[in-house]
Amino acid sequence: MGRYGAIVVIICVSAFADAAVAQSMCIPGPVVVDHLEGTVLFEASGKSATLPDVTVSISPYVEGDVSPVASSVTKGDGRFSIEDAKPGRYWLSFRHRALIGFSIELHLRPRSRRPTEFLIATLRNDPNKPCGGGSVHLSPVVEEACRSLEYENQNQTDYALKLRRVEGIAEDTQSPPSPVPRTCVGLFTEDGRKLVTTVESDRDGKFAFGTIQAGKYRLVAKQPGLGVANVILEVGMWPSGGILTGRQLVVHLRPRGIDITSWVDSKR
């Protein structure tokens, strides 16, 4: 995806195959990025997978139906890319023959030399909540080196941290500690050490994964020049108010060296 903003959209499809009517402005906006590239996923029952054959398009920001000025169709891996779009104000739309599409306001900025943020939008298709219970947040661009993160057992610990959501902050161990942005945080299966997904911490050191199935994982946090942190996570599916609610991870990063370790713990 390069060093420009990208968009990752998590879409929960409707149960009706012919429901393809857009829900304009369902998700609060505007979305502000400088590059249109990303992935579309399908999410249902707490599981997600890449979604092909989704038409992603941008149209002039006006009322009424207008023809798109550019579009892209997701491939088998859910990826899309819209190149050479001029900076401006648009409707960004997602359409699929078997799901309810939606449109959001888009501000496309001139490309920057600095990495920008990408959009993560999640629709849960809950008819009792606005936008079906969907939520939106921005996250830093995930570089290729992070998307293909390899497992490292440096500073590996075998005690398990139990939590409901995999989110937290990466910070150094100085006094007082300060956030460490652009830390690559990956989840691996405990059996086989297969990469599940990755995120990067934002400018405040914060990171958050989407819905993660209950089970046991290895979390590996890596920042160039600092020690790798490695810990077991037990992700549980608890009802609202359960004892794991509100618990967050803290990744403590220290410089690489002999007898110097980085580690992970949790707090409420």
Provide Rg for the chain, Cα atoms.
Answer: 19
Asked if residues 231 and 161 have their Cβ atoms less than 8 Å apart, the reply is yes
Let me know if domain 7-141 sits in CATH 2.60.40: yes
**Is residue 60 over pLDDT 90?**
yes
pLDDT above 70 for 31:
yes
Specify the higher pLDDT residue, 101 or 65.
Answer: 65
User: Tokens 């050191």 label which residue?
Assistant: 205
- Between CA 102 and CA 106 the distance in angstroms is 13
CA distance linking residue 213 with residue 233, whole number of Å: 12
Q: Could you tell me which CATH number the domain at 145-267 has?
A: 2.60.40.180
* pTM exceeding the 0.75 threshold for the entire prediction: no
For 119-172, write each residue's pLDDT tens digit.
565 546 666 665 555 554 556 667 777 888 899 887 777 788 988 888 899 999
pLDDT, one tens digit per residue, over 42-56 is 776 766 666 788 888
CATH 2.60.40.180 domain span(s) along the chain: 145-267
